[in-house]
Structure 1
Amino acid sequence: MSSDADIDPSEYEALEDADVTMRKNEHGLHIADDEVTGVSSQGQTPEEALANLAAAVESHREASSDETGDDWL
């Protein structure tokens, strides 16, 4: 993970194998990017951005492994 924050993405099960980068945008929001899935999320703090990313990556994986045959993603 590339970041100035002292947070560990592997604390989140959905991010155990992720390659996470953190950045801060011009509005002061922290952005967390998973380079493996291409999913990004944001938060007011690095911890919030990472927690939001974990939830988004989990949703992405669930949608990608949809066994009903629906190809909505």
Structure 2
Amino acid sequence: MSSDADVDPTDYEALADADVTMRQNEHGLHIADDEVTGVSSQGQTPEEAIENLAAAVESYKEATADDPGDDWL
């Protein structure tokens, strides 16, 4: 991860295999990008951006899982 923040993405299970980069936009928002999945998220602080990214990556992984979830049909 490239960042000056004291945030460790591996503290979040969803980001264990992630390659996270951080940036800040012209409005001061911190943006966290997962280079593996292409998922990005933002927050007022680097910590908030990483937390939001973890939730977004978890949702992405659930949505793209091979299990169609229709076993009950």
TM-score normalized with structure 2 length: 0.90
Structure 1 gap ranges (5+): none
SS of 2:32's equivalent?
Answer: strand
1:33-64 Cα offsets, whole Å, 9 max, x none, are 00000000000000000000000000000000
Q: 1:31 and 1:48 mapped to 2: Cα distance? A: 9
| 2:24 paired with 1:24 | yes
- Cα displacement (A) at 1:69: 7.3
Structure-to-structure mapping, 1:1-73, within 5 angstroms:
1-65=1-65, 67-68=67-68
1:4-47 Cα offsets, whole Å, 9 max, x none, are 11110000000011000000000000000000000000000000
What stretches of structure 1 move > 3 A for 4+ residues in a row? none
The residue type equivalent to 1:2 in the other structure is S
Q: Percent identity?
A: 81
Greater Rg over alpha carbons, structure: 2
Q: 1:64 and 1:4 mapped to 2: Cα distance? A: 31
Q: 2:68 and 2:36 mapped to 1: Cα distance? A: 24
- Cα displacement (A) at 1:67: 2.2
